[in-house]
Amino acid sequence: MDILKDRILSEGQALGGNVLKVDSFLNHKVDPKLMYDMGTYFSEYFKDHGITKIFTIESSGIAPTVMTAMQMGLQMVTLKKQASKILNGDVYQTTVHSFTKNMDYELTLSKKYIDKDDKILIIDDFLANGEAALGAARVVEMAGATVAGIGIVIEKSFQPGREMLNEKGYDVYSLARVSKLGKDLIEFITE
Amino acid sequence: MDILKDRILSEGQALGGNVLKVDSFLNHKVDPKLMYDMGTYFSEYFKDHGITKIFTIESSGIAPTVMTAMQMGLQMVTLKKQASKILNGDVYQTTVHSFTKNMDYELTLSKKYIDKDDKILIIDDFLANGEAALGAARVVEMAGATVAGIGIVIEKSFQPGREMLNEKGYDVYSLARVSKLGKDLIEFITE
């Protein structure tokens, strides 16, 4: 998605070797037109996957996901990050480790909003170590439903997440694939 | 907004006297078309207020806000809920108490994304005690900018938030105003 790569190049900040800050259009200030365009790309790619619902993880995935869901005519579900386990039978939960924040949270889905026939598209803002996407996939599979695709806004291809998702056989589509980050340097995988 | 009131009546759950659960279209499962329609109502009401940016608070305000921002042709900013104070000069922060979760958080805005000439529309999903909206208004005013309006999806008019915002002189527009909650009972203020 060239307009996204252009925005990353002009506004993204590479901090250290692993962190790409895109606070000016995705994670803090948000450009709604760009979110809509992301939705167009995701819906185009996944249109023949038989998707029945779209899941995201709070909170930076919500804006591109709601735009995708609108264009695909589907409902979305925001998986919640709970600090602690909910000890009743109404939810699916799995523990996810956040490397960015160096803490664990319980990714939580109400059982009401999924059933075993669902084919779920998971959308998230970043793919790095794959913890969040794999956690979302686990809650889908706990319900006996199918992960029909994973859509990522920005993939940091030099971290292990992409490979882990590929190994599980998921169909991963990333709008921008960053191959290298360094001081004043952002490079993409060209496809 | 009649279609919103209809959804609240058919799907909302009144828990105790104060809590209205709308997990099936706003806070967990999210209906993108309804979010778009909320955006249409907000943008219609606030179109002549000279708004320059739209702020919301993570995470349930994001979906209706990004739809509003798209229709108004404006950028949005998601105010972050930080667990602790950031001790540098790059952000505006204010402590907000969440009655729902019985905890405090630091509502956080990067100084880069506001300036004193901004006229800010604040949008949030619920108005109850007014803590979140007043906190958002404080960070806007810390920057010397103006709160040009406050848009609320669901106002619980029997709690003190609305009156507190009115006393401060803010222009508050709520899509649904709940006057009474009880066992199997949800009533609205009719206007």
pLDDT at B190: 86
Query: Would you say B18 and B128 are in contact if contact means Cβ atoms under 8 Å apart?
Result: yes
The contact set of A with B (CB < 8 A) is: 23-24, 27-33, 35-36, 58-60, 62-63, 66-67, 69-70, 74-78, 80, 110, 112-113
Q: Tell me how far apart the terminal alpha carbons of chain A are, to the nearest angstrom.
A: 11
H helical segments located in A20-90: 32-46, 62-72
Model confidence at A83: pLDDT above 90: no
pLDDT bracket for residue B99 (50, 70, 90): confident
Question: Is this complex scored with an ipTM above 0.85?
Answer: yes
Give B176-190 pLDDT, tens digit per residue.
999 999 988 999 998
pLDDT at B87: 84
- Among A29, A34, A51, the residue to mutate for chain B (most B Cβ within 10 A): A29
pLDDT at B184: 84
Give A86-117 pLDDT, tens digit per residue.
888 899 999 999 988 899 999 999 999 999 99
- Output the CA torsion sign for A92, A95, A100, A101: positive
Nearest CA distance, B8 vs chain A (angstrom): 17
Regarding pTM above 0.95, the answer is yes
- Among B62, B100, B108, B139, the residue to mutate for chain A (most A Cβ within 10 A): B62
Query: Would you say A181 and A21 are in contact if contact means Cβ atoms under 8 Å apart?
Result: no
Bridge partners (DSSP) of residue A187 are A180
